[in-house]
Structure 1
Amino acid sequence: MPSDHPISAATMKPGEDRRVLRGHRWVYRNEIHAITPVPPDGGLVDIYSAEKRFIGRGYYQQSGGIAARIFSSHQETPDRSFWEKRLRRALALRETLYPGEAVYRWIFGESDQLPGLIVDRYGDMAVAEFESPFYRQHLEHLVEAIRSLSAVCSVYVRQRNHAPEWYGPPVERVTFSIGNLWGSFQPERTQKTGLFLDQRSNWPLIRPFSAGAAVLDGHCYHGWWGLHAALGGAVTITACDTSSAALEQARENARLNGVEDRFQFEECPVETLLANASRQFDVIVLDPPALAKNRTHVKPAMNRYIEINTLALRNLRPDGILITASCSHFVDDHLFEEILKRAAYKARRRVSVLAWRGASPDHPVLLAMPETSYLKCVMLRVE
């Protein structure tokens, strides 16, 4: 239930409000001059400039560098109508992007004016993920809005430091379609919110190059790159992952689509498979998890990206295709381009860029917040 704690007021230091006034939704702790009264974790806080000009309303975070996340430029109360309005607006975009479909990222945090909240929909089930107690305080309104605006019956809620819980009948396995492919997963056994839907618009890139091809789907997770390769006519698809649970689900998805006879599953790091490969591939996909989760990880992440991309380039046949990705925000476009240049040099391969893509449009980028742009997905032709 919503807290009875009074709404706090935070005054920013002189000159520190420019970024927030331009639309950035985070207020850092070292930018605040004073805050009264000190709110509880997840409590409401109004942000003011040094000149006492109202900037926005958000929720407070007791720990970390970010003190407040702004969810409104007005003094809105997060009541039932607030949640319905936010979810309705976000839903209208997804229904325009994917007419007649029921699988998408419904809420993408700051870009949908609900900072720190992720909601993915899979037909009649949704998964919500957050960290702040703010969302737990308003969970009843959030779940009610999800159900009232869609055919969702069950919501699986994941919050850090809390056991996951169901709102509505528990779902052991959810089955759904994306385009003309079928997939499924077990919500209680999967990572994060289910699929990595940020690559949804990029998966079809592999199809035109898959006819008659030998494909390696590195970091395959549930196998969606491989499924699209099969749809494009791939002869063999080697699906590689270090997670036995992910490979089990990838195998089930191949079975659902009637292409399991073209898949071979390998439980090992993709570096190991590439270093010991006895044959070359026509198409290789590298889609690793985030290797740089903060700035201190950038250097080791850069070295690892160079290593795996070099190995992939060496294991491609002439005129082969490498689709390589990074979901690390701290590895920006310029750095990722430098990584690929170094890998091409080390592999002694001439490389051309065919496509440079970001996340699917149900992950909209807030122009004032570069943090909402994190995915790089690059298609390379290798001579």
Structure 2
Amino acid sequence: MIDVILKKGKEKAVLQRHPWVFSGAVENVKGKPANGDVVRLADAKGAFMAYGFYNDQSRVAVRLLEWDESAGINDDWFRARIVQAVKSRGHILADANTDTCRLIFSEADYLPGLIVDKYADYLSVQVLTSGIENVMPVIIDELQKQLNPKGIFDKSDTTSRAHEGLGESYGVLAGSPPPDLVQVKENGVLYDINIAEGQKSGFYCDQRDNRRILAGYVKDKTVLDCFCYTGGFSLNSLMQGAASVTSVDSSALAIETLTGNITLNKLDVAKHYAVKSDVNSQLRKFRDEGAKFDVIVLDPPKYAPSRSALDRASRAYKDLNRLAMLLLNDGGLLATYSCSGAMDMETFKQVLAWAALDAGKQVQFIYQFCQPEDHPVRSSFPEGEYLKGLLCRVW
């Protein structure tokens, strides 16, 4: 196994079991490993520190896997990680009211660059690192043994693969291709989702708990669900007795799927209004029309993909939340989220404070939302905590 030698003084993060070694921390490489090869990471004196995936094209030169020198990084090692990840979600898999969840969450499950989501009888996979790409035959085989899915579909059509020198990948990996619409159940709510053409892996199961919690506040209220996608917050609100729900998304496919999901759950279509529009433009239109709502949900895409984008993203979050605050009735509730890992909770609270000031509103934070347990956060990898939200009362 090829040795990658750290620069002197760069050992601290590795000793604390952070899984990333940046290229600037590498002194030299004793040999020529191929991208995705498992290498031995050593300190400046040559002493073993960890094993990890190597990639000379990535800013993260080594993604660490194992800190025990006696452990063999072989097929059995990867199979054991998959078994462990699936076992830890056993109680979710056994829930009769939910048949969708995240099975493998990259670094959090010690498989850096691997995302696996379960949608009823199908698995959707995203492969983001060259190391995982190299062991995919083993991963697919073990996933089949553990879950016996009807099919495994590759949704590795993300541009982030380019950072690892990988092209986009898309298509059936095993079994049958998913139908145009796969019906899943989450907290008793039914969804028809499009795995092949939907965003990310096909559905956002990271909001599972938050949808249920927020639905407890909406009975007899008027709700505005922005960036609604296929209707997670909209459907839960209607199920829990909202007076009306207005859903806004720029995607025609999302609006079409949401409309179908209203019918699928036998909900009152007269209480639902779907708007295909850019959210920021629509919020301004609502403002100009004098529209008001009791509850507003903001679940935008990732505005800050990196720390360098945080200032620009903060301005975007502030303007979005300011517009929403102007549309709330006095004492109304704003459920606002950020899926940007670079945006920590304290910064997010500060952004909302600025938005309130600009809107001339008073705001109370009454609940903090987070990602669910199938999106765990390793204590040594706080970067895995990406989803955060606040329930705000606004006057």
TM-score bracket, normalised by the shorter chain, equals: over 0.9
C-alpha distance in structure 1 between counterparts of 2:383 and 2:93, whole Å: 25
Q: Does residue 268 in structure 1 map to residue 274 in structure 2?
A: no
Q: Which aligned pairs between 1:112-151 and structure 2 lie closer than 5 A?
A: 112-151=109-148
Q: How does 1:188-207 map to 2 (within 5 A)?
A: 188-207=196-215
Task: Pick one of 63, 66, 69 that aligns with 2:63.
Answer: 69
Deviations 1:167-209 (A, max 9, x none): 1111122111112100121211111111122211111122122
TM-score, length basis structure 2:
0.92
- Partner AA of 2:281 in structure 1: T
Question: How far apart in 1 are the matches of 2:238 and 2:41?
Answer: 52
What amino acid does structure 1 have at the position aligned with 2:16?
R
* Higher mean displacement: 96-105 or 113-122: 96-105
Paired with 1:72 and 1:246, the residues of 2 have a C-alpha distance of 41
TM-fit CA distance, 1:136:
2.5
Residue 154 of structure 1: CA displacement? 0.7
- Other structure's SS at 1:201 match: helix
Structure 2 contact 184–193 (Cα < 8 Å) conserved:
no
Match for residue 250 of structure 1? 258
Instruction: Percent identity, please.
Output: 28
CA distance, structure 2, for counterparts of residue 254 and residue 74 of structure 1:
51
Question: Which ranges of structure 2 fall in alignment gaps of 5 or more residues?
Answer: 162-166
* Residue matched to 1:17: 11
Give, in whole Å, the separation in 2 of the partners of 1:199 and 1:154: 24
Mapped contact 1:111–1:366 kept (Cα < 8 A): yes
Mapped partners of 1:321, 1:99: distance in 2: 34
Counterpart selection for 2:171 from 154, 165, 181:
165
Is the 8 Å Cα contact of residues 79 and 141 (structure 1) preserved in structure 2?
no
2:277 maps to a residue whose letter is C
3-state SS, counterpart of residue 310 of structure 1: helix
CA distance in 1, matches of 2:116, 2:309: 28
Which residue is equivalent to 1:182? 190
Q: Is the 8 A contact 2:101 2:118 kept in 1?
A: yes
State the secondary structure of the residue aligned to 1:226: helix
Shift of 1:97: 4.4
Is the 2:5–2:26 Cα contact (8 Å) retained in structure 1? yes
Report the Cα offset of residue 78 of structure 1.
Answer: 4.5
Change over 3 Å in CA distance of 1:153–1:79 after alignment to 2: farther
Question: Which of 371, 374, 377 does residue 386 from structure 2 map onto?
Answer: 374
Deviation of 1:98 (Å): 5.2
**What is the root-mean-square deviation in Å for CA atoms of aligned residues?**
1.5
* Shift in alpha-carbon separation, 1:272–1:103, aligned structure 2, 3 A: same
The amino acid of 1:91's aligned partner reads: V
1:215 aligns with 2:223: yes
- Counterpart-to-counterpart distance in 2, 1:209 and 1:192: 29
Deviation at 1:135, TM superposition (A): 2.2
Q: Which residue identity lines up with residue 282 of structure 2 in the other structure?
A: L
The unaligned stretches of length 5 or more in structure 1 are: 1-6
1:311 corresponding residue in structure 2:
323
User: For the residues of structure 1 that align with 2:99 and 2:238, how far apart are their CA atoms?
Assistant: 23
> Could you tell me the TM-score, scaled by structure 1's length?
0.95
Report the more deviating stretch, 227-236 or 76-85.
76-85
Deviations 1:243-271 (A, max 9, x none): 11121222222221122332211111222
| Mapped contact 2:3–2:30 kept (Cα < 8 A) | yes
State how far apart, in whole Å, the 2-side matches of 1:310 and 1:198 are.
25
